[in-house]
Structure 1
């Protein structure tokens, strides 16, 4: 990756209210120089409001926005020098691709020669040099999105802001554009701030993800850290799928603790340095379905649950099983389809197993 050329962004206790409704509540967040940060959350979580506040289109009720330590909160959008890519591309239909990309440079009154050179470089960056004379309606959705990216980058912005840029594309094209966008970020080395509600997109693209709910920042971190060690039920449930097992701490166990769930004793192993909860306390575990294995014959595991398949779905790479167990209720498991040890069928008796460190303690969400 090239040296980061972007700018550091900081949100300090950012708050936005519309009357009595709190859209963003006291959000403090740092974005590193050259980082690809994604704001992720369901509809109404405040992610788009934060992006619009960073862009200058929404005035915060309280708090501050800093760029490289300088307070830019009072600045209007045109003084912030940020590139922006919208969900609907926002291309001018009567302008060619080259004219669309050149528009920010014309507004800035750059000389014609420099303008043409920058447009050529920007179109080369998104691999659309051959399409310079076409109109937007002559392009595919993916090509239009790449034109929008070129236009947002052509004037060398301090930040690139992306408002659900891939949501209008079909699934296959969206996956292809994700790879292109990630590669583009590596090539330009700028700071990207992205907004999406798509968990897979956030995991695939981001250096870091900030998860929001009801206007509040719930957890931020690297994609792998958030997925493997969610702090709350909401994060575990929103970022992927999860089984939740709630019970009473039976007592300490090697490397962790034993949890009684419906009369079944489960072993929970904690990371080094993490203390187990007190004996008798309630504890909630998140267990990812792909970490639950189907045991065959006399095969064993640190945790075992027996049950019958309630339902299953085939997803190409695997089978998603719903298994009703005697003590733990319904457990979801992912069974790889390639050379699967069984042919799933409703009512089939199965044994499930998982390692002691597969389940992660999480907190219940605040009311």
Structure 2
């Protein structure tokens, strides 16, 4: 098993105009995605968005109605799954309960008729990779959920697959274990240097694991980019709302200058730092992340300020989550670090909120599929 620190052992994947229809229902429509060598790409979206259909299309279990699947520039659309040499990890692990850990990991090598001495060597290397060597003779029922998932990863990697496909691999685990496995999976990706394609509906998992994320909705690709690009610069309301939480501010474009423009929301004028200026009088929708809003202390100022009243609040350990009622902007979510909050929140407390001109991002209500 190769375990390269660099990314030379990965393969490039491309989906070119992939569409899948089931009668009158379109599960995926005109999807174009390129995955670079050694990249970790996550297909992210709500239930019914088409992400699993695309993963099954990549694996070869689903034939697209239109479009192509290419590996290193070679068209593999018609190639059956067993000829693609892709590893796959399923949500439910799919381990054989009557086989030991070592026998489960060896199974892909047995069906490839690999000589037993070579099988044993590769199984040892795979189990070492996921730190399960001492569990080789145990049955899956004797392992925790996290350990079973690591066995599934070892089995998917043992035959040196061209790609590793992950179908919601951590969703069956509890929150704490899922966070631990995220760190392990990310480290494993770095060690093996393979190309990973992951499917999830969990936004935190996608942000934590991925080099790049492709966000899907109703079978269409709506935006793709690095986690920070998608979080900091969503192009649509759907992306801003699905990837994390956001406040949405409605207003009409007012005057513009070299560094941005202003919008009028009710009687409140808000400054927006943006390269593109909308026509004066046009409707504008802004996305403002809750952690970019501050509670201003008496005498403190900000580029944008609005008065409000604390409607509700929650203590989350690391911080407070507030909902502040305002006259012109409606209820605003505010996330504050608990350790340096200017004062303790309380329902009915009058507060002044502030944020920088570059904190809010103009977004569209809806977008066509990304090119």
Output the TM-score relative to the length of structure 2. 0.97
Shift of the alpha carbon at 1:336?
1.0
User: Where does residue 22 of structure 2 map in the other structure?
Assistant: 18
User: Where does residue 74 of structure 1 map in the other structure?
Assistant: 78
User: Where does residue 3 of structure 1 map in the other structure?
Assistant: 7
The superposition leaves residues 279-312 of structure 1 with CA deviations (integer Å, 9 ceiling, x where unpaired) of 1111110000000000001000000010100001
User: Where does residue 312 of structure 1 map in the other structure?
Assistant: 313
Shift of the alpha carbon at 1:366?
4.8
1:31 paired with 2:32, answer no
Q: What is the root-mean-square deviation in Å for CA atoms of aligned residues? A: 0.9
227-236 or 330-339: bigger deviation: 330-339
Shift of the alpha carbon at 1:199?
0.1
SS of match in other structure, 1:92: coil
d(CA) in 2 for partners of 1:254, 1:50 = 43
d(CA) in 1 for partners of 2:52, 2:36 = 20
Runs of 4+ in structure 1 off by over 3 angstroms are none
User: Where does residue 345 of structure 1 map in the other structure?
Assistant: 346
SS of match in other structure, 1:114: helix
Shift of the alpha carbon at 1:224?
0.3
Shift of the alpha carbon at 1:246?
1.0
CA contact (8 A) 1:295 1:351 kept: yes
SS of match in other structure, 1:251: strand
Shift of the alpha carbon at 1:169?
0.1
CA contact (8 A) 1:286 1:360 kept: yes
CA contact (8 A) 2:7 2:194 kept: no
SS of match in other structure, 2:131: coil
1:221 paired with 2:221, answer no
1:182 paired with 2:186, answer yes
SS of match in other structure, 1:124: helix
Shift of the alpha carbon at 1:340?
2.1
CA contact (8 A) 2:7 2:37 kept: no
Structure 1 spans left out of the alignment, 5+ residues: none
Shift of the alpha carbon at 1:109?
0.5
SS of match in other structure, 1:298: coil
SS of match in other structure, 2:110: helix
CA contact (8 A) 1:9 1:68 kept: yes
Matches within 5 A, 1:1-367: 1-270=5-274, 274-366=275-367
The superposition leaves residues 138-195 of structure 1 with CA deviations (integer Å, 9 ceiling, x where unpaired) of 0000000000000000000000000000000000000000000000000000000000
Structure 2 spans left out of the alignment, 5+ residues: none
SS of match in other structure, 1:342: coil
d(CA) in 2 for partners of 1:121, 1:154 = 8
d(CA) in 1 for partners of 2:171, 2:328 = 41
Shift of the alpha carbon at 1:254?
4.5
d(CA) in 2 for partners of 1:184, 1:366 = 35
d(CA) in 2 for partners of 1:356, 1:92 = 57
d(CA) in 2 for partners of 1:219, 1:314 = 33
Shift of the alpha carbon at 1:339?
3.4
d(CA) in 1 for partners of 2:282, 2:308 = 27
CA contact (8 A) 1:262 1:327 kept: yes
